[in-house]
A and B are shown apart, each in its own frame.
Chain A
Amino acid sequence: MLLSDFLRQTLGLTGTHVGCEHGVCGACTILLDGEAARSCLMFAVQAHGHEVTTVEGLSPENAGELHPLQAAFRQSHALQCGFCTPGILMTLVALLRDHPDPSEREIRETLSGNLCRCTGYQNIVDAVKLACDATLPR
């Protein structure tokens, strides 16, 4: 069983989406031990003993607050249909952890591993910059 199917069907964590099942679109991106990974290219059993974070883990439901990157996405209108969004968030969370203040080029290069058909990407790039600005003073 694929990790993406295990997350969605067995655990009922349907925030992780499946768009191509061949590792190109990035909608199924999760964090595996903190690294962005395609959950459609792994078997669930390969995640045994590893830490998996999905979009549901970014903002625990009872906390009622969005993760700063999620908030920046809303602020910048960085999502339309929202289907690719969870995978993009996970990709960018990993980017921002390692590069707290990425250049536009770095953002675009990282983001180029995720396909979005609605937004044309610009507002996502802007959201990342906004999230950096918002988190810097902390």
Chain B
Amino acid sequence: MTPRYLGKRILRNEDARLLTGRALFVDDVQLPGMLHVAFVRSNYAHGRLRSVDVSTARQRHGVLAVFTAADLGDYWRPGPLLVPPPPIPDLVFHQCTQVPLVRDKVRHVGEPIAMIVAESRYVAEDAMEDVLVDIEPLEAVVDLEAALDPAAPLIHEHLTSNVAAHVVQRKGEYERARAQADLVIRRRFLYDRGAAAAIENRAVVASWDARAEELTIWDTTQAPIPIRNGLAQMLHLLESQVTVIAPFVGGGFGPKIMMFYPEEVLVPWASKRLGVPLKWTEDRQENFLATTQERGQIHDAEIAFSREGRVLGVRDVFLHDSGAYDSYGLTIPINSQCTLLGPYDIADYESEFTAVFTNKTLVTPVRGAGRQHGVFVIERLLDIGARSLGIDRVEIRKRNLIGPDRFPHNHGIMFQDSAPLVYDSGNYLPAVEEAARIVDYDRFVREEQPQLRKAGRHVGIGVTCYVEGTGIGPYEGARVTVEPSGEVRVATGVGTQGQGHFTALAQVVAEVLGVDVEKVRVVTGDTRAFHWGTGTFASRGAVVAGTACHAAATAVREKILDLAARMLDVPKDRLVLSGGRVQVGDSGATGQAIELGALAVEANPLRGAVQPGSEPGLEATAYFGPDRGSTASGVHAMVVEVDPETSMVEIKRYIVVHDCGRLINPLIVEGQIQGGVAHGIGNAFYEQLVYDQQGQLLNASFMDYLLPTAADVPRVEMAHLETPSPFNPVGLKGVGEAGCIPTGALFAQAVEDALADYEIEICEIPLSPNKLHELIAKSDVRK
């Protein structure tokens, strides 16, 4: 049947609430008698905490309590490991997770030392000045390579070095490839990522109801259900005594899933202890220091080519900055390791990484989650190889793509979800050709660029490829209920941070049940409504929760058909669901039909009996747990002009051809891509977290850390290809991170091309006008 709602550009159900200021965000929660929390944080990156004197602060008017680590008793313990490392042979991993309040040693600037509860945030912040913190500073470990020097200070003193992890993965035999190669290229690459910088900072509100013995928490988390389960365990409560609500969340991008932030552990505990509702809302400076971020890797990579430009093998050895603790496991470096392979057929691959502790804020995934780093390495190696071999940049990519007949494609190494890295489906060549066609690559390179160059203009073009592992397990669930009003209610566990779940998930259900999308009301991120699931990460919401919605709706559809067939006394296969009704055949409005609402009333009778073997109501719950993720892919192309005097880069055109399987809503998908590209442009040219040698973040404000603005981000021209995933019945793949994954690599290629007459080589992202100027100034072939 032709889809009625799937694949359509349907306007969002959630917009009216957001546009009118009625949507509830965590900081909007106001409870009677609520008090406010502020945290005293470390000003040093590395040091021994000698003492904390809170006696003056406790006496300040308006302060109700001040807590230090000593006050936490048995509640003080290091946080859990969020993602255990995959079962890779000989893997080394030293688990060192964050603590709620520092007891003996500070390991990064911004680590919380004391918690102040006061009648207002103003008073609480004043009281921070009263707290006397005595820290004996230690030498900070900042640089990745210096951290591994045997003489470097130890961040975690029970370990023998600052190594957090060491992992080697191999497919084939790189030495064999190297021996057969006509050309071997070796380079060092630096790729730094940046802050997520959601415009909404983190916030936690907690309210302990002593009479009901129930704890309710509003949290800007991407994972409300695991937060609830973890808190229940820590506080010795039943899971059913704890409710976690992630209402509207003002952007996630990764760091809002870090179980557990100290504040998430402390605010509920203190509310229970004091018996009053408490609110903590992060300020922007805290966000830069205490919210996780993603940072740099240093890659020493080698690639072996045949004369024809076939990649025979790659060897990559890299360092990954973990920050002060490694609570999120190895998701990021394993993503880098796996995503380096991209859409390419690389027979022999050897990848080794060392994750390193540093005295900086914790590193956890930020949109892209390490994929950028791997994509940058392979794409740069291909560019340098193409230049050395005299092969066109698009052509060398075409020669190395995995063919459409080779799926599912097993790379034989482990992905971050502890499943083998298997691409479910893909069709890469048409995407490269389509991107080249839209950007008019051949004509640009043959005609336009030479003409403009003759006129003294520095214009460049770039084309890069990527894949994105999306939609990983373990599972999500959904409950679908037809209400007597005829409206359909969908409850699912994933939280929402702007991805349009209220609409996209509604479309999936509407398609199955034949009701209008605006009649489907979606509830997400409220453990009262649904309490099984993991969270929103890894571009998995639509894929995993969407498939669970599809399954639950399909089960409800069966119930509808069973009941309607009985009531109308016709066989099920003659019934059609459309327009919120069940009707016989295609008889249209005049034929025999029942409204879904009326059927819902019939299914829940006040008298008589429910049929044996059936359940009351038109409701079903279903789950979806994929063995492994589905792999989306795409090609980005860009035309830039560089002004060598100012080193400013103007993006003339930006094209994305991408394939995320079957589209639920192109409007939302395009929004994700445009926004992702903006994030990628920030990563490539504007954003960098700059730490000094003492581990102080020098640009911890929006004055100094530049997010791209409307003046910097162009219109992204897009084309969709749809290669359905065979791993789920709708054929979905994720798209959330696609926009920002190849942007850094593309920027480097296009800018390098624009500055061809300077013969510079860009091996580092982010660039900035300053950095680009340094590269230009160093060039000795200036013409």
Q: Interface residues, chain A, CB within 8 Å of chain B?
A: 1, 8-9, 12-22, 24-25, 27, 54-56, 58-59, 61, 66, 70, 73-75, 77, 79-86, 89, 107-109, 111-125
Q: Which one of B497, B711, B739 has the highest number of Cβ atoms from chain A below 10 Å of its Cβ?
A: B711
9 extra interchain contacts, Cβ-Cβ under 8 A, other than A112-B710, A120-B677? A15-B22, A20-B702, A24-B702, A61-B20, A77-B668, A80-B672, A83-B198, A117-B251, A118-B498
Docked complex Cα distance between A62 and B675 (Å) = 33
Q: Are B713 and A81 in contact (CB under 8 A)?
A: no
Say whether B11 contacts A83, CB under 8 Å.
Answer: no
Instruction: Say if the beta carbon of B224 comes within 8 Å of chain A.
Output: no
Closest to B15 in A: A74
Asked, given contacts A25-B702, A81-B497, A82-B14, whether A1 binds B198 with beta carbons under 8 Å apart, the answer is: no
Q: Which of B3-58 contact A (CB under 8 A)?
A: 11-12, 14-16, 18-25, 27-28, 30
Q: Is B283 an interface residue (CB 8 A)?
A: yes
Tell me whether A75 and B19 are in contact (CB under 8 A). no
Complex CA gap A121/B707 in Å reads 12
User: Which residue from chain A places its CB closest to the CB of B711 in the assembled complex?
Assistant: A112
Shortest Cβ distance from residue A103 to the other chain B in the assembled complex, whole angstroms: 13
Q: Report the separation of the CA atoms of residues A54 and B20 in the bound assembly, to the nearest whole angstrom.
A: 10
Q: Do A74 and B710 touch (CB < 8 A)?
A: no
Residues of A within 8 A of B714 (CB): 122
Cβ-based interface call for B338 (8 A) = no
B residues lining the A interface (CB < 8 Å): 11-12, 14-16, 18-25, 27-28, 30, 122, 196-201, 248-253, 283-284, 497-500, 667-668, 670-672, 674-679, 701-703, 707, 709-716, 739
Chain A residues within an 8 Å CB radius of B16: 66, 74
**Which residue in B21, B122, B679, B712 is a CB contact (below 8 Å) of A13?**
B21
Contact, CB under 8 Å: B677 / A77: no
A109 to B711, CA, bound (A): 6
Question: A81 and B250: CB pair below 8 A?
Answer: yes
CB distance from B312 to the nearest CB of A (A): 38
Q: How far is the CA of A8 from the CA of B30 in the complex (A)?
A: 10
B715 touches A122 (CB 8 A): yes
**Contact yes or no, A116 B199, CB < 8 A:** yes
Bound together, the chains give a CA A122 to CA B715 distance in angstroms of: 6
- The complex places the Cα of A21 from the Cα of B667 at a distance, in Å, of 32
Are A121 and B19 in contact, with the CB atoms below 8 A?
A: no
5 tightest A-B contacts by CB?
A: A15-B21, A83-B250, A81-B498, A82-B18, A120-B678
Alpha-carbon distance between A107 and B711 when the two chains are bound, in angstroms: 9
Partner of B18, one of A13, A16, A85, A120: A85
Does the CB pair A125–B15 fall under 8 Å? no
The distance from the CB of A15 to the nearest CB of chain B, in whole angstroms, is 2
| Nearest Cβ on chain A to B374's Cβ, whole angstroms | 23
Question: A22 is contacted by which of B197, B252, B284 (Cβ under 8 Å)?
Answer: B284
CB atoms of B707 and A21 under 8 A apart: no
**What's the least CB distance linking B624 to chain A, in Å?**
24
Cβ-defined contact, B199 with A25, below 8 A = yes
